[in-house]
């Protein structure tokens, strides 16, 4: 409850997002060494050199994406599965891809234990997306990309939204990309964040 109140003070207004974060046991997505800090608004390391994002970052991205019940959402970077769970709590049909195999396998077990069977997790290259399940209503990228991946844009429905941090290895600008008819896009830039880099070409 304190975490939700803190996020509200920081400008998160979407009640669905706040309700999801208030419902999900974040400590179960983290390493035991950090359990006492689970409900602080901070990022923490997880397996394979990755991180569980700061709750504000999760809430910020989800608020921009604004997922709705029944929408197909592609998530790039499953990580711990915490963001996946927030999306699932909105009623969205979540398809998530992770390039680190040990992390993918560990997170799948965690999501099953928490009864998030509806989240479809895949092991693969996030830059390539999941063409077999496209098109998607919305796409959420949870790692820093050097540019907007055109393959992912091609898997987005017309009228759909992609939320993606774009920039250098050290700092990215949160960006929304709205796909218009005729292949045009509307790109809007928001605040700066720091994410682990989006890595392509091969999975690990």
Report the 10 Å Cβ neighbour count for 72: 18
- Annotated catalytic, 53? yes
Pairing of strands 156-167, 72-76: unpaired
CB neighbour burial string for 167-196, b if at least 16 within 10 angstroms, e if fewer: beeeebebbbbebeeeeeeeeeeeeebbbb
Token couple for 83 = 């963001």
The answer for residues whose C-beta is within 8 angstroms of residue 135's C-beta and 6 or more apart is 72, 155, 156, 157, 160
Q: Dihedrals φ, ψ of 49, to 5°?
A: 70, 15
Can the peptide bond before residue 29 be classed as cis, meaning omega within 30 degrees of 0? no
Choose the catalytic residue: 53, 80, 90, 96. 53
**Residues belonging to the active site:** 53
């Amino acid at each position: 409850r304190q975490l939700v109140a803190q996020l509200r003070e920081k400008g998160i207004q979407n009640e669905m997002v706040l309700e999801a974060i208030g419902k999900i046991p974040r400590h179960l997505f983290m390493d035991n060494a950090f359990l006492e800090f689970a409900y602080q608004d901070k990022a923490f390391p997880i397996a394979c050199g990755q991180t569980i994002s700061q709750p504000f970052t999760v809430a910020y991205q989800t608020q921009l994406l604004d997922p709705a019940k029944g929408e197909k959402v592609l998530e790039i970077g499953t990580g711990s599965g915490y963001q996946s769970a927030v999306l699932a709590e909105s009623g969205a049909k979540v398809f998530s891809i992770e390039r680190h195999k040990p992390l993918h396998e560990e997170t799948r077990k965690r999501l099953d234990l928490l009864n998030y069977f509806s989240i479809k997790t895949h092991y693969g290259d996030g830059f390539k997306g999941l063409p077999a399940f496209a098109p998607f209503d919305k796409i959420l990228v949870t790692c820093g990309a050097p540019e907007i991946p055109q393959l992912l844009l091609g898997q987005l429905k017309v009228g759909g939204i992609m939320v993606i941090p774009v920039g250098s290895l050290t700092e990215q600008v949160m960006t929304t990309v709205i796909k218009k008819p005729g292949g045009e896009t509307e790109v809007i830039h928001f605040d700066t964040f720091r994410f682990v880099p989006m890595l392509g070409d091969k999975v690990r």
